Amino acid sequence: MEKVYSGKTKDVYKKEDGNYLLQFKDDVTGTDGVFDPGANTVGLSIEGAGRAGLRLTQFFFEKINAAEIPTHFLDANIDAATMTVKPAVLFGQGVEVILRYRAVGSFFRRYGMYCKEGDMLDGYVEVTLKDDDKNDPLITDEALEMLGIMTKAEYQELVVLTRRVGKIVKEEMAKKDLELYDIKFEFGRVGEDKHVALIDEISGGNMRAYRGHKYIEPLLLEKLMLE
């Protein structure tokens, strides 16, 4: 296999059959040793985080595939901390899609003049460019289209899929008495028809989850979801 990319939380290898292998690491994003799913730097390493993230990712991707929502997921090997996926083409250099149910994190830092921390949000969707040097700037649908990153139809499909996936994740977490505050997804173009599909992962490192007023760390979240 050929290593084609080394990311903050995963390495990517190209397989001989044309599919790709994602190798999950124990690194999570954060700042100054504090976990933050919205951060664009590795903040700390947590032993077992890679496999924990993969287990939760497999759990959610299988639910999402069963709902006939397009993804790149094929299978996972928990012992090896790897996931096999279909090839996908990024939008531009990559975009991240944040689905927000509560006013926390960067949303509250930006708009705190107009809301209280923890206020309910009605599944608010925002898109950022993957650009660590510029702290993943927000971008509008009009700018995405003007810059040739995605079409208006692709953006609309992305928003619909984001809310459908978020609903599945939120409902599964509610079964465990957990509340999803926000979650970050990635999408790309998959298949010969280049349809919009969910890619990357869905793990504790991509979301904020609470039980009551207590934040649930990624490793504990995986344990609570799958016990």
| Pairing of β 42-45 and β 2-6 | unpaired
Q: Which class in CATH covers the domain with range 2-87?
A: alpha beta
| Pairing of β 207-211 and β 214-215 | antiparallel
DSSP SS3 for 74? strand
DSSP SS3 for 73? strand
Concatenating the DSSP letter of every residue in 20-55 gives EEEEE-SEEEEETTEE-TT-SSEEEE-TTHHHHHHH
Distances (CA, A) of 159 to 114, 141, 180: 24, 10, 18
Q: Which fold has domain 89-226?
A: D-amino Acid Aminotransferase; Chain A, domain 1 (3.30.470)
What's the pTM? Answer: 0.91
- Which residue reads 């999950």 in tokens? 24
DSSP SS3 for 106? helix
The predicted-structure confidence for 169-192, as pLDDT tens digits, reads as follows 999 999 999 999 999 999 999 999
The predicted-structure confidence for 20-57, as pLDDT tens digits, reads as follows 999 999 877 766 666 666 566 666 677 888 899 999 99
pLDDT of residue 38: 58
The domains of the chain are located at: 2-87, 89-226
